[in-house]
Structure 1
Amino acid sequence: MDCNAYANQLAEFSWEIRNESLEIFERLPEGFMNWRLNNNAMSFAHIAKHLINVDELFLEMLQTGKKTYEWHLGSEEPHYEVENAEFEEIKQRLKTLQKERHAIIQAMDENTLNEKVTGELGEQSNIWSFIMQKLLEHEIYHRGQLSAYLKILQGEGELS
């Protein structure tokens, strides 16, 4: 497979992953965006904001040419709570980033996918690995978390 076709498939995969995350946020019962499983877990809104932060980290790396990153994200973040209007803005930002991420990945060539990036501990990988692990696999992990939370809130019988 040529690199253009591969980049297009990767972009489409990225699109579908975000679509499924957005579907979960849309199915969330009204007023439950700040619900979390326990005091150490992130809420629906916090996970959505967290996904935004990761996308913005990725875009910043590519736009600035700075190929280093610090992964200060996740459970170490202070709990994040929002009102309904802000949650709607967050969902809209996820949709906007979905489009940006798709276009950028789709336009990547072999050289870009192979560019080296360095994490905060000096570990090296490439843009392809960052996309696969830090963007896509990471969002799939949180999508599973969101699905489990939604099942708890709605009960197994309603999610056929």
Structure 2
Amino acid sequence: MDTKECIERLAEFSSEIRKITLKRLEEVPEGFINWRLNNTAMSFAHLVKHIIDVDELFFSLSTTNKRTFKWEMGSEEPHLDVDETIYKSLIKTLKSNGEKRNVIISEFNATTINHLVRNEKEEEMTFWWFIMRKVLEHETYHRGQIAAYLKVLKGESSQL
């Protein structure tokens, strides 16, 4: 498989991850967008905003000459409390960001996918690694949180 084909598959993988995240968020019961599992957990709305923030970081790194980033944990952010209108806007942004992310990833080539970025600790990684770890794995992790929260709200028990 050549590099271009690998990049296309990465873009498709990115789109599938976002599609499933949006599907899970459609399951959030009415009136529960600001619900949190506990006082330190992020709400559904906060998780959406947090994923959008990571998208914005990716867009900044991939469409500008900026190559340094600061990784901030969502639990360190102040709790986000939004109304239904803002939440719907966040969901719309999450959807459009997914489409934009797909386009940007598709436009990488063998050189650009290997450009280096570094975090505040001066740890370097390629864009490919940044996409895999900081964007896609990160979103998958939070989608797991969303799924677990939905099970709690629906009263489902896990089958061991």
CA distance in 1, matches of 2:18, 2:31: 22
Tell me which moved more, 63-72 or 94-103.
63-72
* Stretches of structure 1 lacking an aligned partner (at least 5 in a row): none
Tell me which moved more, 67-76 or 114-123.
67-76
Deviations 1:25-78 (A, max 9, x none): 111101100001000000000000000000000001112211110112311000
Q: How many residues were matched structurally?
A: 157
Q: Name the residue aligned to 1:65.
A: 65
Following superposition, which runs of at least 4 residues in structure 1 exceed 3 angstroms of deviation? none
Q: Report deviation, 1:155.
A: 2.2
RMSD between aligned residues = 0.9
CA distance in 1, matches of 2:62, 2:106: 13
Q: Report deviation, 1:150.
A: 0.4
| Residues 9-158 of structure 1: pairs in structure 2 closer than 5 A | 9-156=9-156
- Report percent identity of matched pairs: 50
Q: Name the residue aligned to 2:8.
A: 8
CA distance in 1, matches of 2:73, 2:99: 22
* Stretches of structure 2 lacking an aligned partner (at least 5 in a row): none
Q: What is the SS of the residue equivalent to 1:6?
A: helix
TM-score, normalised via structure 1 length: 0.96
Letter in 2 for 1:132: M
TM-score, normalised via structure 2 length: 0.96
